[in-house]
Amino acid sequence: MADELGGKVAVVTGAASGIGLATTDALLAAGSRVVLVDRDARALQAVCAARGACAMPLVIDLLDPAACAALVPRALALAGQIDILHANAGLYVGGDLVDADTAAIDRMLNLNINVVMKNVHDVLPHMIGRKTGDIVVTSSLAAHFPTPWEPVYAASKWAINCFVQTVRRQVFRHGIRVGSVSPGPVVSALLADWPPEKLQEAKASGSLMEASEVAEVIRFMLTRPRGMTIRDVVLMPSNFDL
């Protein structure tokens, strides 16, 4: 329905491409206004210019602690309220652990875990004060299966899966729903770091999903009656296990 989320304001991180952009489009189509958060100023301006006044750009490098702490105040200054936070920004480190760059590990763990926790922490007082809100975190199939070719990435998603499930139990009494979406491999820039043999295998078997398919699941989660929480959705191509 075109007005399922009418009057709502969503904040989407990592919104200039991939799942974040697809979610933005799904939420705009459902009637919400969206604050798009990304560090890529040029891409963000182009995306928002093509989507009209309901798409509001907010250029932030979430790995900068001061900039990250300013996300919620700046989003509120732009839009006046936050009904939905989609904590989507993330990085990928795959391959054998022994070959990984430790600086890349630090960067990925900071964005995939610490930034998500800080973003959720910072938005909760606003949502608690309004006695309503939705938080959706982009997790991964790797949060549910010890994927041998991506131990660092999988560990970050296992951590955030635990975070989502525990925070949900703390805040549901305030009218706030917290859930995660855990897709298998999605066509996005993150796959650029996949081991070449795994990427080729996934392409050959048709074991990749489109970002729009994940976004549709997120829209479904957000449009359920307030008394229902979809705490986690695991989705993957039907032939992924081949």
Domain ranges for the chain? 9-234
pLDDT the model gives residue 124: 98
What positions carry a catalytic annotation? 153
Chain mean pLDDT for the chain: 93
pLDDT the model gives residue 242: 58
- For residue 162, name the pLDDT band (cuts at 50, 70, 90): very high
The number of residues in the chain equals: 242
Q: Which of 1-5, 68-72, 122-126, 216-220 has the lowest mean pLDDT?
A: 1-5
- For residue 193, name the pLDDT band (cuts at 50, 70, 90): low
pLDDT the model gives residue 191: 65
Q: Which residue has the higher pLDDT, 45 or 2?
A: 45
Helices first, then strands: H and E counts in the chain: 9, 7
Residue 1 has pLDDT above 60, yes or no: no
% of the chain exceeding 90 in pLDDT: 81
User: What is the pTM (predicted TM-score) of this model?
Assistant: 0.92
Among left, alpha and beta (phi > 0; psi -120 to 50; other), residue 95 is left
Q: Does domain 9-234 have CATH number 3.40.50.720?
A: yes
221, exposed or middle or buried, with CB in 10 Å at 0-12, 13-18, 19+?
Answer: buried
Residue 102 has pLDDT above 80, yes or no: yes
Average pLDDT over residues 68-74: 98
